[in-house]
Amino acid sequence: MRIAITQKVLNKESGLYVSLIFPISVAFLLTFIGARIFSHLYPNFYIPWSQTIRVHHYAYGFFVLAASGYFALIFSGPKAKYLISLLHGFGLGLAFDEFGIWLKLSDSDPARWSYDGFLIMVGLFLFVISVKPGLKMLKILWPF
C-alpha cells in the first residue's frame, strides 16, 4: 500500500484523498465529541495564561491546524500523510467545537445544539463515505 500511495501521489491518481478523509473524520469526531463532553462536565476549566487572558480551546485548534498545514508541506511519505491527517482532524475538532461562538459570539443552548448536530452529521457523512478505503489504508500502514 505504501508503494500504491506513493504512485497515486506521483501520478496524481484519484482515490488517495478519499482514504485520507477517514483519519480526518475519525479524529474530528472523537475530538469534537470529547471536547463537548469535557466542556459540559467542566465548564470553567481553562489553562490560566494570565489573570486577564482566557484562551478558548478553539484557539488551540487553530494552532494545531497551522502545524498540520506546515507538516503537510514538508513531509510527503505515506505514514506522514496519515499522521498529518489525524493531526488535522484533531485541530478541526478543537476549532469547530466553538463554531457557534464564531457566528453569534454567544453560547446559547438552542444554537449550540443545532450547530453541534450539524457538525456531527457532516463528520459522520465524511466518515461513512471514507470508511472502506480508510480502513484498507490503515490495515496496510499499521503498526506505526
Q: Which residues of 66-105 are buried (b: 16+ CB within 10 A; e: fewer)?
A: eebeeeeeeeeebeebbbbbbbbbbbbbbbbbbbbeeeee
Give me the number of domains the chain comprises: 1
DSSP-derived secondary structure letter, 44: T
> Would you state the pLDDT for residue 108?
63
Residue 27 lies in a domain: yes
- For residues 96 and 100, what is the distance between their CA atoms, to the nearest angstrom? 8
18: Cα within 13 Å, side-chain hemisphere: 12
Q: Which domain holds residue 34?
A: 18-141
Alpha-carbon distance of 115 to 101, in angstroms, equals 10
pLDDT score, position 36? 86
**Single-letter residue type at 13:** E
pLDDT at 27: 95
The pLDDT of residue 121: 87
Q: What is the pTM for the complete model shown? A: 0.76
The verdict on residue 89 lying in a domain is yes
> What was the pLDDT predicted at 1?
46
55 lies in some domain = yes
Residue 1, domain member (yes or no): no
- From the first residue on, what is the mean pLDDT of each consecutive set of 10 residues in the chain (144 residues)? 63 73 92 88 80 79 95 88 93 85 65 73 88 80 66
In a domain, 3, yes or no: no
Residue 9 falls inside a structural domain = no
Tell me, yes or no, whether 69 lies in a domain.
yes
In a domain, 75, yes or no: yes
